[in-house]
Amino acid sequence: MIRRVVSFAAGLGLVAAGLVALAPSAPAAPHDEGVIPGAYLVTLRSGDPGAVAREHARAHSGEVAHVYRAALRGYAAHFSAQAAARISRDARVASVVPDRVVTMAGKPSSGGGPQTVPTGIDRIDGELSSTVSGDRSGSVDVDVAVIDTGSGPHSDLNVVGGKNCSTGSSYNDGNGHGTHVAGTIAAKDDTAGVVGVVPGARIWSVRVLDNQGSGSWSSVICGVDWVTANASTIEVANMSLGGGGSDTGCNDGGLHQAICKSVANGVTYVVAAGNSSDDAANHVPAAYDEVITVSALADFDGKAGALGSATCRSDVDDTFADFSNYGPDVDLIAPGVCINSTWKGGGYKTISGTSMASPHVAGAAALYKVVNAGASPADVRLALIAAGNYGWSNLDDRDLVKEPLLNVDAF
């Protein structure tokens, strides 16, 4: 049964529909839950993607939304179900997959002021890393893509470019979520606001969700495709998004296939485990083996020892966040509760979710790549796991298996 996630957790981050592979001869019916009626992803065996897309659009009264050349060879478009069925029988077509809804929800509270070291950066020992996060000096020479609602503009971020795969013409953030993620990764080490794991790193703003935090898998794949085309520049990509689904393998004709190709081109992907208090195996891209999947730690004081008092939400210090997904697909845990970071419009906000845990690890992956430029995504994953520690309680961790807590003091 196709299942759409209605909510990760109220006010905790991203909500998304799953992606289910579809046999080429049987495009999904428009009434299937989570499917965008009349919207399809077409993956090709042969032919130029742009030329085939135009040909199909003319022949079948379609409208092309995206053309993919790097992570996938194909396109996204709107057709009738009958047209999609005819297209699936074209010898050049490998698969026709239904496009699906992606949405996001957040519940921020105020933050900011003179520069402080956020509790998450403190807890992973960012101030002890080679960048000494918080000493108000220096920046890191590395490139990270934030595949989200966009990032910036913000005076505390070094946003150098990007791609808009959503509505409008700008890759700037119209929601706030993507700017928050970018700040945890790379907020500048200066006199204002907050500081990130890799301060001042170059952020590439890849906007795949609109101002309301809504989008589609076709727009997410557009972002992955753009990152893949720029894999010679971009070392790490963060995806604080996801939804219902499972590990479908690298030939699903959709998101998994795109990410597999991007990873094969050398980009390390870090993704949120999800906020459903569920096994991450039931959520994508968290279930994919090719990514680094991150659960959330509740930490209120930036210190080990379980002495911090709850601040922006109820939870227990130094424990597995009560909303976080869990399971064997999770590689690392990182702070994800009451995280203060940059926000749209030049401000700062505090929010919670595995969406906030993931960018701590993305920053760590980028930091590792600075001194290990030739490391593969698999190498980065193993290095981060090996550097982690187990100084936290697995209270509320439903599988009772401790994943290593991110630590960057050796990087």
pLDDT 10s digits, 51-79 = 999 999 999 999 999 999 999 999 999 99
Residue 347 has φ and ψ, to the nearest 5°, of -100, -165
Sign, CA torsion 366/372/376/379: negative
Whether the pLDDT of residue 366 is over 60: the answer is yes
Name the class of domain 104-387.
alpha beta
CA distances from 400 to 234, 272, 326, 395, 403 (A): 36, 19, 9, 8, 10
CA distances from 7 to 13, 15, 16, 400 (A): 9, 5, 8, 24
Residue 239 tokens read as 């995806």
Cβ atoms of 301 and 267 closer than 8 Å: no
304-339: pLDDT as tens digits: 988 999 999 989 999 999 999 999 999 999 999 999
CATH classification number, 16-100, choose in 3.30.70.80, 3.40.50.720, 3.30.750.200, 2.60.40.650: 3.30.70.80
End-to-end CA distance of the chain: 44
- Give the pLDDT band of residue 33 (cuts 50, 70, 90): low
Closest CA to 279 of 335, 353, 329, 240: 329
Residues that are catalytic: 148, 177, 355
Q: What are the boundaries of each domain within the chain?
A: 16-100, 104-387
pLDDT for the residue 113: 57
147-165: pLDDT as tens digits: 999 999 999 999 999 999 9
What is the three-class DSSP state of 3?
coil
Pairing of strands 74-78, 63-68: antiparallel
What are the E-state strand segments in 107-254? 109-110, 143-148, 158-164, 202-207, 214-216, 236-239, 243-244
What pTM does this model have? 0.90
Domains 16-100 and 104-387 share a fold: no
- Give the pLDDT band of residue 399 (cuts 50, 70, 90): confident
What is the three-class DSSP state of 383?
helix
Longest dimension (CA), the chain: 66
